[in-house]
Every structure is written in structure tokens, then in C-alpha cells.
């Protein structure tokens, strides 16, 4: 467990033996979690491409409101993903931390 992660205390609170951190690490390191994040990135890219065609709609229109709600959903999903990975891996201080990974 914690392969390549040298962070002993995530946010100076959760040690490597903490049950919550262990559970979050198992979730974020699972293949299905990576696939889910990649699916969300793909869907968000399609949505951003579709937004270029929404310039002709008025700001208060139903289509723009739905687009904004979808944006909030994607933002929340990506924020949750980042938060879970920060808890599991640590933020930046140690080797293997979240912000030391080039993909993040």
C-alpha cells in the first residue's frame, strides 16, 4: 500500500495507518476511479465544445441555465477528485504527493 508515496501525515493529521486515509487511497488507486475521471474529462471536453454553439442564446435562456448547472456538476466532481487524492497522497511536501505528479 502507498506505493511511491512518502507522505507520512496527510495535512499533518492523517497518518498512513489511519483507516479513513487507507480507504480513500484504495478508492483513488482503483482502475475504475481512473476510468471514471477520464470519462468525466471526456464528457467535459464535449460539453466545452458544445458551449461554442450556445453564444447565440440569451443569458437567461433554459439552455444556458442547464449548461451552467452541468458546469457546476463537473467542477464539483473534479474538486472532489482532487480533495480525495490530496488526502490519500499528501498535497505537495513529499515524493509522490498530489501536486508533484505531472498529470495533476
Tens of pLDDT, residues 52-81: 888 888 888 898 899 999 999 999 999 999
**Is 83 within the bounds of a domain?**
yes
**Is 95 within the bounds of a domain?**
yes
**Is 66 within the bounds of a domain?**
yes
**Is 27 within the bounds of a domain?**
no
Euclidean distance between CA atoms 99 and 92, whole angstroms: 5
**Is 101 within the bounds of a domain?**
yes
8, pLDDT greater than 80: yes
104, pLDDT greater than 80: no
Residue 41's pLDDT is: 97
Q: What is the mean pLDDT of the chain?
A: 90
Quote the domain boundaries for residue 84: 58-104
The reported pTM is: 0.85
Tell me the three-class secondary structure of 22-73, residue by residue: HHHHHHHCCHHHHHHHHHHHHHHHHHHHHHHHHCCCCCCCHHHHHHHHHHHH
Amino acid at each position: 500500500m502507498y506505493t511511491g508515496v512518502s507522505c507520512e501525515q496527510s495535512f499533518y493529521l492523517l497518518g498512513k495507518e489511519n483507516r479513513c486515509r487507507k480507504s480513500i487511497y484504495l478508492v483513488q488507486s482503483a482502475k475504475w476511479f481512473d476510468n471514471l475521471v477520464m470519462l468525466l474529462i471526456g464528457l467535459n471536453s464535449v460539453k466545452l465544445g458544445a458551449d461554442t454553439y450556445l453564444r447565440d442564446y440569451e443569458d437567461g435562456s433554459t439552455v444556458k441555465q442547464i449548461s451552467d448547472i452541468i458546469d457546476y456538476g463537473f467542477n464539483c466532481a473534479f474538486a472532489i477528485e482532487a480533495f480525495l487524492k490530496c488526502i490519500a497522497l499528501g498535497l505537495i511536501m513529499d515524493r509522490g504527493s498530489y501536486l508533484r505528479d505531472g498529470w495533476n
